[in-house]
Structures are given as C-alpha cells and as structure tokens.
Amino acid sequence: MCLLQDDAVETCAAQPATCLEPSALFLIPLAMLLAIAALLLLAFSATQQKETDFYTFKVVNIRGKLVSLEKYRGSVSLVVNVASECGYTDSHYKALQQLQRDLGPYHFNVLAFPCNQFGQQEPDSNKEIESFARKTYGASFPMFSKTAVSGAGAIPAFKYLIDSTGEEPTWNFWKYLVDPNGKVVKAWDSTVSVEEIRPYVTELVRKIILKKKDEL
C-alpha cells in the first residue's frame, strides 16, 4: 500500500495541475474574476472622481457647440439662469454687463444660461436670445444654450451647483458664485441684486490678483 501511495505522490509531482482538488481549481478563475472586477471598479471610481467641480462639466453654448467649462478654470465665475421677458431682466442684465465690464479683465466671467422653466419667460430661440442680450444690453459675457436648470431635467452642471449649495432655482436670475477651482462659494435668489453680491465677487477676484503678484 505504501508503494501505491508513493507512486501517487510521484504522479502528482509530475502533473501538479491535474492533482489539485476540484474546489481549488474553481478558486483560480474566481480569483481572476474578482481581480478584474476590482480593476473595473477602480477605473469607474476614477472617472467619477474627475467630475468633482463645476469646471469639469461640458455644456452647449448659445451657438449650439459643445464646450468644456475647463476654459474658465483659474477664474471666478458668476453663473446665472437668465430670461428675456422677466421683471428682473432689465436690472439684472444691466448690472451683470457692468460687472463683466469692470472685472472681466481680471479673471472673471458672468456665465449666462437662458432658461424657459419659470413663467415661460424665455420662449425665443437661442439666436434670438443672443441677439436680444447683445443688442439691448451690449452683453459681452459668455452665453449658453437654453436649458433646464432645476428638477429632474436639469443639466449636470446645474445639478452640481444645486447639490453643492442645497439651493435650487425657483425663478429666473438665480446666481451661483464659483471660485477659480470650480467650487461653489455662495448662491443667491432672484430678489438679491447684482450690486448686493458685488463685494463677494470682488473679494474673490482680488485674491486671484494678489496670488498672481506673489507668483511673479
């Protein structure tokens, strides 16, 4: 009997793969599958982590072209959902353009997103909206395609603003202040004038200017 056992040992030594227990054979492909699943999960997590600030999103501009908000990284942005036929239109457009004129040269932009969700007060086409803003108010700030900014249909960029602040637009001309790193600093509703929030914007712009001076 001992001779038979010795023969079996020698056979296994010569052919180790075929002498593994069935359970061990099953564990090898299972371990490989788990390793692949872990790698896929890491890849997915890395992709998700890229969209951690406002500037990582892509949006459609007023001319219908898909653009990345990355171009505004390093600058302060005031994101506003605008409308052409609202009671707040005249005062806000004038003040927003003045802010753009005063601070635009110093790493600042108003980013205007037309929206027809509130009172149906932005009914026209993108072309007509842009023409109205440029001709009536001399708007020189970037404008984007008419879109939804609240509810289930809100574009991802606005969902990020809402999630970051807990403040969701309920009317036209809500304003979100975004810092140079794409993080939302503060949000204001329609009743707060641009003049009232100007000090917050100016302070962020001032910090950029001072930082750039220190880097010289």
Q: Which residues are catalytic?
A: 86
Q: How far apart are the first and last CA of the chain?
A: 88
DSSP code, position 151: S
What span, in angstroms and rounded, lies between the C-alpha atoms of 46 and 185?
25
DSSP code, position 69: G
CA distances from 186 to 11, 14, 167, 193 (A): 75, 72, 9, 14
Q: Residue 104 in contact with residue 141, Cβ under 8 Å?
A: yes
Find where tokens 């993080």 sit. Answer: 183
